[in-house]
Amino acid sequence: MLPAANVLCGAKLRICRHLLQLLRRLACTCPYEVAGFLLGRVSGSTLEASVAVLGCNVSEDPERSFLVDGRTLYRVVLMSERGGLHVVAVFHTHPAGAPFLSGADLRGMEAWPTVWLVVGCGGVGAWAPCGPGVAWVELEPVLQGCELVESGCSPCPGRAIGNASSAPRSL
């Protein structure tokens, strides 16, 4: 389930502070784009992310693009349906780059019309489709924990970020 289009214009994304720290660390240290999905609830124009699902990047050029594996996509759909959750954001890193939408990100947003969270070593940005363009999404880092679900692969080969299993863990 994706949030309704009218919710995305002027949306605010509440996200676990620890997850943002983890993604910033990965953006600064991993030469590959790390990507995944945030699942959560929608309350008015506020999207509350409670689950982060890290995907396996199967892109042919993982240093400059991402393509999340089909197994992770299937898992996200099941978790969303079974838990009554929305896919509140697609997230990915720009290794050692700026946290701005690329042309590929804008094209991806057409396929996944939800918030796109882009994490660079120097910061974080979030946007959502709004009318014929995109709108900035306010980020609200929160202290409450969130659940991290890894996909059984290392999002950054050669660098462990956790247990690299598919078992959820709290952040």
Partners of 124 in beta bridges: 119
DSSP secondary structure letter of residue 141? E
**CA separation for the pair 115, 52 (Å, rounded):** 14
Q: Which residue intervals of the chain are DSSP H helices? A: 5-8, 17-29, 70-83, 103-111
**CA separation for the pair 166, 18 (Å, rounded):** 19
Average pLDDT over residues 4-30: 88
Contact 41/86 with Cβ under 8 angstroms? Answer: yes
pLDDT class for 90, splitting at 50, 70, 90? Answer: very high
Cα-Cα-Cα-Cα dihedral sign, residues 165, 65, 18, 82: negative
pLDDT in tens, 39-82: 999 999 999 999 999 999 999 999 999 999 999 999 999 999 99
Contact 160/66 with Cβ under 8 angstroms? Answer: no
Give the pLDDT of residue 165. Answer: 42
Enter the pTM of the model: 0.89
